[in-house]
Structure 1
């Protein structure tokens, strides 16, 4: 049985990467992962929104990608060293700060794909999503952080575990297993994940291939590719068999893949 996160939504899946910020929005100062960006993705019709989780100095889980504020706000401080009140003030002119709690409560029909970016955020993220497990997928480059967040959701009494996608170490195991042509090793590597969320290439290494997609599908695991912004690449990857496209331009992807 597929996890509820996958059920009843159109495929190929379009995952709005950090919400949606059009060139016009960006020119107006709107930032990724802001309240406005999430609202824009929702308004465009995105069923799935991909975002990132950090923890502020006062223990609030916020949707924010970088470890520090410099790229988005020009402030050099780390997210972990800033209070949610101060971060709210910094984001006020950039589309508004959005916390994880606000995202889950304000957009009850959105399915969230949450990347746990900081070790300290894992347990608070898990606790926050415990009551929303049917519409949350938890991931992280760190398998340890991903598993810690899943464990926290379980310990918080969630009736449905969040879906999950593989961290870097698990992805490496999957790629090695596919290269070995051992379906037993592939099954073992994929046994605890619902999706592989990967770039098409990592440097000179091709990650996404028909063989990888076929192996994942044999074991009931979807393949989502990030970050894909050109319509021709979207079509090509979907024709190859991928199940989802993670994109900065959810509006373009929804029109292209309709």
Structure 2
């Protein structure tokens, strides 16, 4: 596994990894520079985040398609310009940051970036290139088409399995087909998964071994309870994606 991950700054730190899901939003709005700063301040090295494109083609950090939950207005993120999005008050003096802002503000952080739309692909690639951040980001998407399109433009970045790629690997693991699992995960660096998918438990000792044998890390989302974090880490997962990075760091510390 080390061979495939070698040279990628994203994987340089030791495992298990704590990936702060949209930052640490206990005292900050999610997916903001303040939430990211809070996570990094307590010792997190990896930020999990999401990217859409603004109306004028800038990569903007936001999870939802529209602004109803975070800004109490119904507009789609993609209907507003980056200036209009920056003017929205999300609380605590925060706005929707651009990906460029986040990469510039936190030059040592690793970013796990979920491409939420096809329109976000080229602006995301442009922001990563401008920041020279290729080796400290991981690009992923539930859509295999979006993931492939991004990797065609940035072939040297880390990437994790899309929904279809992971489903194929999971089904291959049911028949204990090591070669089939490896084929399903060829060219990938991680699987980032829930604990259940397509009616199956995804995180078992046997499946983790199969995924590791295929050369990928196993990161599980979104885990917020300490007991479940400990259980998953005991099985051998490499990373926990969590809203409670503070809690996860405490659990990881008990393993050292």
TM-score (norm 1): 0.91
What CA distance in whole angstroms lies between the structure 2 residues aligned with 1:245 and 1:121? Answer: 26
Structure 2 partner of 1:106: 105
What CA distance in whole angstroms lies between the structure 2 residues aligned with 1:99 and 1:216? Answer: 34
Structure 1 partner of 2:23: 19
What CA distance in whole angstroms lies between the structure 1 residues aligned with 2:89 and 2:37? Answer: 15
Give the Å deviation of 1:44.
1.5
Q: Secondary structure at the match of 2:191?
A: strand
Paired residues of 1:127 and 1:152 also in contact (CA < 8 A): no
Structure 2 partner of 1:177: 172
Matched, 1:213 2:208: yes
What CA distance in whole angstroms lies between the structure 2 residues aligned with 1:38 and 1:183? Answer: 38
Q: Secondary structure at the match of 1:76?
A: coil
What CA distance in whole angstroms lies between the structure 1 residues aligned with 2:148 and 2:198? Answer: 27
Unaligned runs of 5+ in 2: none
Question: 30, 33, 46: which one pairs with 1:32?
Answer: 30
Partner deviation per Cα, 1:147-205 (whole Å, 9 max, x = no partner): 11111224xxxxxx110000000011101111121111111111111000000123743
Partner deviation per Cα, 1:199-225 (whole Å, 9 max, x = no partner): 012374322221210001112211000
RMSD of the TM alignment (CA)? 1.4
Matched, 1:80 2:78: yes
Moved more, 88-97 or 139-148: 88-97
What CA distance in whole angstroms lies between the structure 2 residues aligned with 1:6 and 1:76? Answer: 35
Give the Å deviation of 1:124.
1.7
Partner deviation per Cα, 1:204-251 (whole Å, 9 max, x = no partner): 432222121000111221100000001111100000110000000111
Question: 217, 227, 230: which one pairs with 1:235?
Answer: 230
What CA distance in whole angstroms lies between the structure 2 residues aligned with 1:72 and 1:253? Answer: 25
What CA distance in whole angstroms lies between the structure 2 residues aligned with 1:81 and 1:182? Answer: 46
Structure 2 partner of 1:157: none
Moved more, 92-101 or 206-215: 92-101
Paired residues of 1:129 and 1:153 also in contact (CA < 8 A): no
Give the Å deviation of 1:82.
0.9
What CA distance in whole angstroms lies between the structure 2 residues aligned with 1:118 and 1:59? Answer: 12
Unaligned runs of 5+ in 1: 155-160
Q: How many residues align?
A: 246
Paired residues of 2:29 and 2:90 also in contact (CA < 8 A): no
Give the Å deviation of 1:79.
0.4
Superposition map of 1:182-193 within 5 A: 182-193=177-188
